[in-house]
Amino acid sequence: MANKLTLALLQLPVGTDVVTNVREAVRCVGELKAENPLLQLAILPESFNAPYGVEHFAKYAERVPDGQTCRALSQLARQLGIYIIGGSIIERDGNRLYNTCTVWSPTGQLIGKHRKIHLFTMSIEAANGGGVQFDEAAVLTAGDDVTVVEIGQHKVGLGVCHDKRFEELARIYRSMGCSMLVYPSAFCICQGPMHWELLQRARATDNQLFVVTCSPARNNMSGYVAYGHSMIVDPWARVQREAGEGPELIVEQIDFDLVDEVRRQIPINKQRRTDVYTRAQKQ
């Protein structure tokens, strides 16, 4: 069992009250652990504690690690003896706001903090002259560092949502020894059908590792409508498990032996022509 990991994805609805959102997350994680004693890791969605939207960020921002959401996650991890990847919350640090993912150990210690590196900006035009615009950078500050945590014996690279569009980040994580990437994500419904599964399978096959995403449940009445479809993709780029659109709790076991198997059978990392790439970049 040393090379296996039992994890849970909690595709939760997100309302306007932080206390209610966090209480529901704590309740669901606790129930999943009671039903699945072997559960080792729980993963929450991006912006799981408060509505996602530029207009909401400053109102709901908290400090890390002493804000109410972080205190609840730390206590929960310690009580259940599991790791928790706490989706993301809006972090307030002085005058700056960040979209931040926290990771908690089974002793309740903060072992990782990833500030979203690539802030989500889009301006998608519609055929009828309308369209959709969104710009996190209008309010948030981008993170400036990669984040690797150890979950048991395995290195896990972290990103938040839009970070998964950037292959370079995933490649760096592979070079740092990661066998799994986790992206708490709230893709909107306008881009989800086109790119949600595609990007995860691409990152998985490019780097021959597991890719895991956790989305909020879809709420068609919210200002920002999340796509849902939380997903686990294996190193062969096969979808191992996928949620639907609404609230859903998934428990799944992944086998890290598969990472070694894929990398042994198709050894692309040993075949990389870094000399060619370096020469081309200089031209």
Active site residues: 46, 116, 161
Distance CA 160, CA 196 (A): 13
Cβ-based neighbours of 103, under 8 Å, separated by 6 or more:
83, 84, 85, 86, 110, 111, 112, 113, 114, 149, 158
Nearest to 144 by CA among 168, 117, 118: 117
Is omega for the bond preceding 13 within 30 degrees of 0, making it cis?
A: no
Check: CB of residue 10 under 8 Å from CB of residue 252: no
